[in-house]
Amino acid sequence: MVFFLAYLLMTNLFSSEQILVAHRAADSTMPENTLESLMRMEQKGAKWFEIDCYMMKDGNIAVMHDKNLARTTTGKGRITNMAAVQLFDVFVIGGAGGERVPMLPDMMDYCYKKGLHLIIEVKDSNLEIVDKIDHLIRGYDCDLFTIYSFDESIIKAFVAKKPLYSVRWTMEKLSDKRLLKAKDRNTSINLDGRYVTSSCIEKLEALGLDAHVYTVNDKKRALELFDLGVKAMCTDTLFGGETNG
Rounded CA gap, 43 and 26, in Å?
A: 11
What is the reported pLDDT for 173? 95
pTM for the whole structure = 0.92
What is the reported pLDDT for 9? 41
What is the reported pLDDT for 8? 44
In-domain check, residue 244: no
Q: Which residues pair with 55 in a beta bridge?
A: 61
What is the reported pLDDT for 18? 87
What is the reported pLDDT for 4? 47
Higher pLDDT among residues 7 and 100, named by residue:
100
On average, the pLDDT of the chain sits at: 91
pLDDT over 90 at 33, yes or no: yes
pLDDT over 80 at 202, yes or no: yes
Domain range for residue 102? Answer: 2-235
In-domain check, residue 243: no
pLDDT over 50 at 11, yes or no: no
What is the reported pLDDT for 95? 86
In-domain check, residue 72: yes
What is the number of structural domains in the chain?
1
Mean pLDDT of 131-154: 97
Higher pLDDT among residues 155 and 18, named by residue:
155
What is the CATH number for 23?
3.20.20.190
pLDDT over 90 at 245, yes or no: no
In-domain check, residue 241: no
In-domain check, residue 245: no
